[in-house]
Each structure stands twice: as structure tokens, then as C-alpha cells.
Amino acid sequence: MNTNTLLPYVFGRGNVDGRASTGLLVLRVLAGTAMAIHGSTKMMTPFTWMGPSASMPGALQFLGAFAEFGGGIAWILGLLTPIATAGILFTMVMGILTWHIPMHEPFIRLTVGMATPGPGEPWGIYPTWLARAGGQSIAGSGSSELASLFIAMSAVLLGIGPGRFSLDALLARRFGRDAAQRDLLPHYAHQRGAS
């Protein structure tokens, strides 16, 4: 297998134009900072951050905390973006499936003033799974909108790549150039010897 075939899976694609790459840079830095901060509190107790009564094994808690903290830093730098993004994506999906849905949290929780514990009230014409006003869950999160936004950002970064303003793009150019030279040198040397 050619080294160039593996590069997009490790480093992502950096062949996006300048304006799109600027947008991806802003997305990566802002979302990566938020994700790293979100994960940093979990990294303080990485094997027990879900609490003593959590059914999730400590090793999986660590992987979730590391995916958030390390993945956030990777997004900021644009380094190993596809791998970091896969970790963040999986962690956010698991968060929705194992926490937000079982806690009957809505997609969006509108809070005005001080939120009181409890499920909250229906809001407007929207079903309660979509939006509620007030209330909060026992952990204080209250909705799955942030996890859903990180899933959307992950889809963008997996689909498009980190852009040209990333360490991934720099490394892909470097490794791609080296691989091309390795692949072409034997062919070139053979042609020179035949003439």
C-alpha cells in the first residue's frame, strides 16, 4: 500500500481553499478550546468523573475524558484531526445515548433567570423532547444541544478535513513529498541506468 493512500486517514485533507481553510481554522480553535476545557475537568479524575455509582467502567470514563481533552487540543492544533474527531464524535454520541436520552432531557432547554431543578415546562408549540423552558437535570446539564453541535462540527471536520492552516496539512505535505520521492527514485534510477 502506498504511503500517500494512508495520509488522509491520519492527517485529514488540507486541500481546501484559503477562505474555507480560514473558516475551518476558526471552527477548530473555538470548538477545540471549548472541548478541551469541557474535558479538562474530567481529566482531573479521569477514571471516576461520572461519580462512584456510575455503571460506566473507569477505563471507558478515561477514554471519554481523554477524547474530549486531547481531542480539543488536537482540534486547536489541527493535528491528527480525523483520529481526534472520531474520538470526540463517539464520545458525544455516547453522551446523548447514555445520559441525555435516559434523563429525558430535551434537545434545547431555554432558561430565563435562575433554573430550578425538575423537568421544566413545555415551551410554545414544541414537543417536550425538542424544547423545554426552565428546569434542569440532576447533573445540571439540561439538554443535548451542545453535544449535538459537537457532532455536527465533527461531521464537518471528518468530511472536509482540518484545512490548509493546520499541522495535519503541513505534515501531509511533508510526508507526501517524502513518499513521492521514495516512490519515484527507483523508477528514475532505472530510467537513468537504461539510457
Query: Consecutive 10-residue runs of the chain (195 residues): their mean pLDDT?
Result: 57 72 96 97 94 90 97 97 96 93 85 68 85 74 89 94 91 70 50 49
CB atoms under 10 Å from CB of 80, counted, come to 21
Contact status, residue 149 vs residue 95, Cβ threshold 8 Å: no
Contact status, residue 162 vs residue 81, Cβ threshold 8 Å: yes
Residue 62 lies in a domain: yes
**pLDDT at residue number 31:** 97
Q: Does the model's pTM come out above 0.85?
A: no
**pLDDT at residue number 73:** 98
> Read out DSSP for 12-31?
------HHHHHHHHHHHHHH
**pLDDT at residue number 122:** 83
Q: What does the alpha-carbon distance between residue 59 and residue 67 come to, in Å, rounded to a whole number? A: 12
Residue 181 lies in a domain: no
Contact status, residue 143 vs residue 164, Cβ threshold 8 Å: no
Count of the separate structural domains present in the chain: 1
Residue 192 lies in a domain: no
Q: Which residues are CB-neighbours of 110 under 8 A, at least 6 positions away?
A: 123, 131, 132, 133, 134
CB atoms under 10 Å from CB of 41, counted, come to 12
Where b means 16+ CB within 10 Å and e means fewer, 157-193 reads beebbbbbbbbbbebbeebeeebeeeeeeeeeeeeee
Pairing between β-strand 121-122 and β-strand 108-110 as defined by DSSP bridges: unpaired
Residue 186 lies in a domain: no
Question: Domain range for residue 24?
Answer: 10-101+144-169
